Chain A
């Protein structure tokens, strides 16, 4: 009998304590969800830590050499993401090539978002997580602008749906160009501001519809105008490079484009990656 008395005593006290505790928690949860306070009781501990990222030794003139271990961050649109390629796109391929060359290279983040335009990229650069990654990079790979030029015009969808009128009004496209290049300028400026010492590689645009006779000339005009504008900005910063792709793809669209007729395939990405690496090492 004695043991049963103990069982009862222990079970009863334990369960009463447990129940009271749980009911208190329930009341708290009920209040918290129904009447949220909206008050941050925590300090932000990491604030100082983030801002004390190694001060950059000012070396504006001359190209600082890339360090032994290269940290890569990539940002931009679907090209950087590697759409159309099962092998990970030009970013992954660049890193693989660098590693194969004996330069230890590691990926920080691939911050690219499919379908991103210059307009969408700009606010991203203000996000803390994005800046955190970019700040640490030695090499920043960037593609942007393709969606501004082609997606915005509705051209991509009409090509894919096989619509009959592939009207591409060069004047209309040229109209959008100044704003887009102005945003590119701001993107490059912000990147440099976030990370004053990284090598920034901008991959230029190619003309994905060059094999369609009615689009050849107007597309060429717009794309080269864009590339020209980009080149002008980039050449003002000693530590920025534009890697052209226009010439690569011009006559090899059937070899280098994937089945969506817009993004490169594995071979196309490989060609881009090889160019990037040749300019780096």
Chain B
């Protein structure tokens, strides 16, 4: 333990000095204003159409979805998705709560909902994919391993530093999204009620378990789920980084996996065993919002276990490979 602490310290300083973390912050600072602007435009348009009355707008969306249900041309799974959407939105209307009230907090919530499966993992990869293979590309790995320190300690220190930065990335994504969008939408909205606990039974939504939580609490819960996904993706990228010699290759491998997951969630509902792939299980926040999972039979606990198993295997592989392999160049 005594030799582990300075190692972690060393790894942390290396990550900061290599400016990877600053790059991530910069990417966020460039992209979030773009999303904010897009959101502002769409808010403007609906304001023109419905005289900024969200109740009319929401009711119109409900009716439009209802009307499309009677069409034979729409696939059954879309119908299920829409039926669930209709029931939830009706619930919001009945309780006179605007689910999309434009403010910085709502934007942050939506932004994180949309980034959990690709954007945040991508940011984490920027650090994770480089953490071991970067040392091999530059050759510094030899210096590191010639020290009188056990190899597993070296790797563990890197893992701990990575975990620290995963938390930092998630939190800074929240902070940046909130601060930037607040400029456009205002900083209020922490106490706005959001409904959670929709239980989906077939195509029906069980409303008896629904509860309202203030939006700040929703953000907290959402953040926890985003963090969990981030840690699991980070572990996998960590493994790839150990296995592959070059940083570029390790990034490409992880990115291909993530993008494959995004495509699969949109089309794999018929391929049932795809639910055991980690990249299909990344949308944990859907369970919080009560959305239909991409593949039948997926629940929060199922996804958590799948992700945990993948992450555990990744760590196992990383350590056994790193401690045994010869480091040649």
Chain B associates with chain A: yes
Q: Are A11 and B59 in contact (CB under 8 A)?
A: no
- A61 in contact (CB, < 8 A): no
Question: B301 and A34: CB pair below 8 A?
Answer: yes
User: Is the beta-carbon distance between A32 and B213 smaller than 8 angstroms?
Assistant: yes
User: How distant is the Cα of A106 from the Cα of B48 in the complex, in angstroms?
Assistant: 11
Whether A22 contacts B12 in the complex (CB less than 8 A), given A38-B210, A46-B96, comes out as no
A33 near B223 with CB under 8 A, answer no
> Which residue among A22, A40, A132 has the maximum number of chain B CB atoms within 10 Å of its CB?
A22
Among A24, A113, A115, the residue within 8 A (CB) of B224 is A24
- Is there contact, CB below 8 Å, between A26 and B16? no
Asked if B314 is at the interface (CB within 8 A of a chain A CB), the reply is no
Whether, in the assembled complex, B266 has its beta carbon less than 8 Å from a beta carbon of chain A, the answer is no
Tell me, in angstroms, the Cα distance from A185 to B199 when the chains sit together: 37
Q: Do A42 and B212 touch (CB < 8 A)? A: yes
Residues A8 and B224 in contact in the complex (CB < 8 Å), given A15-B167, A41-B212, A111-B59: no
Given A41-B211, A129-B62, residue A25 in contact with residue B220 (CB < 8 A): yes
- A30 and B300 contact, CB distance less than 8 A: yes
Check if B217 is an interface residue, CB within 8 A of chain A: yes
Size class of the contact patch on chain A: 35 or more
The A35-67 residues at the B interface (CB cut-off 8 A) are 36-42, 44-47, 49-50
Tell me the smallest distance from the CB of B22 to a CB of chain A, in Å: 12
Contact B199 A36 (CB under 8 A): yes
A18 contacts the other chain (CB 8 A): yes
- Among A29, A106, A113, A114, the most chain B Cβ lie within 10 Å of the Cβ of A29
The answer, yes or no, to whether A247 is at the interface (CB within 8 Å) is: no
| B-contacting residues, A102-144, CB 8 Å | 106, 108-115, 127-130, 132-133
Q: Does B288 touch A at the CB level, under 8 Å?
A: yes
A36 and B210 within 8 A (CB): yes
State whether B168 touches A11 (Cβ < 8 A).
yes
CB pair B211–A29 under 8 Å, yes or no, is no
For chain B, residues 14 to 61, give those with C-beta under 8 angstroms from any C-beta of chain A. 16-17, 51, 55-56, 58-60
What's the dominant secondary structure at chain A's contact region? helix
Bound-state CA distance A107–B51 (Å) is 10
Contacts of B228 in A (CB 8 A): 26
- Residues of B within 8 Å of A7, CB to CB, are 12-13, 16-17
Q: A109 and B59 in contact (CB under 8 A), knowing A21-B171, A40-B95?
A: yes
Q: How many angstroms from the CA of A33 to the CA of B164 in the assembled complex?
A: 26
How many Å lie between the Cα of A158 and that of B132 in the bound state? 69
Q: Does B209 contact A (CB under 8 A)?
A: yes
Q: Does A100 contact B (CB under 8 A)?
A: no
Are A19 and B9 closer than 8 Å at their CB atoms? Answer: no
CB contact between B171 and one of A18, A33, A39, A49 (< 8 Å): that residue: A18
A31 nearest CB neighbor, chain B only: B221
Q: Is B103 positioned at the interface, with any CB of A under 8 Å from its CB?
A: no
Check B225 for interface membership: any CB of A closer than 8 A: yes
Asked whether A86 is an interface residue with its Cβ less than 8 Å from the other chain, the reply is: no
Do B221 and A32 touch across chains, with their CB atoms under 8 A apart?
A: yes
Q: A22-B224, A33-B300 are in contact. Are A129 and B90 (CB under 8 A)?
A: yes
Contact A12 B164 (CB under 8 A): yes
B70 at the interface (CB under 8 A from A): yes
A281: chain B residues at CB < 8 Å are none
A190 to chain B, nearest CB (A): 17
Q: Is A81 an interface residue (CB 8 A)?
A: yes
- List A contacts of B171 (CB < 8 A): 14, 18, 21-22
Q: Are A29 and B221 in contact (CB under 8 A)?
A: yes
**Is the pair B211, A38 in contact by a Cβ cutoff of 8 Å?**
yes
Cβ contacts under 8 Å, A30 to chain B? 224, 300, 304
* Contact in complex: A22, B170 (CB < 8 Å): yes
- The yes or no answer to B146 lying at the interface (CB within 8 A) is no
A109 to B287, CA, bound (A): 31
Measured between beta carbons, the chain A residues less than 8 angstroms from B283 are: none
CB of A76, distance to nearest CB on chain B (Å): 11
Q: Which of A42, A106, A127 has the most CB of B within 10 A?
A: A42
Seen from chain A, the residues whose Cβ lies within 8 Å of a Cβ on chain B are: 4, 7-8, 11-12, 14-16, 18-19, 21-30, 32-34, 36-42, 44-47, 49-50, 81, 106, 108-115, 127-130, 132-133
Please list 7 pairs of residues, one from A and one from B, whose beta carbons are closer than 8 Å in the complex, sorted by A's number.
A4-B13, A26-B227, A38-B197, A109-B59, A115-B70, A128-B93, A129-B62
Apart from A22-B171, A24-B220, A111-B60, list 9 A-B contacts with CB within 8 A: A12-B164, A21-B171, A25-B222, A29-B221, A108-B56, A109-B60, A111-B59, A129-B94, A132-B56
Nearest 10 CB-CB pairings of A with B: A26-B224, A25-B224, A36-B197, A46-B96, A29-B221, A15-B164, A129-B59, A36-B209, A22-B227, A18-B167
Residues of B at the A interface (CB closer than 8 Å) are 9, 12-13, 16-17, 51, 55-56, 58-60, 62-63, 66-68, 70-71, 90, 93-97, 163-165, 167-168, 170-171, 193, 196-197, 199, 208-213, 217, 219-228, 284, 287-288, 300-301, 304
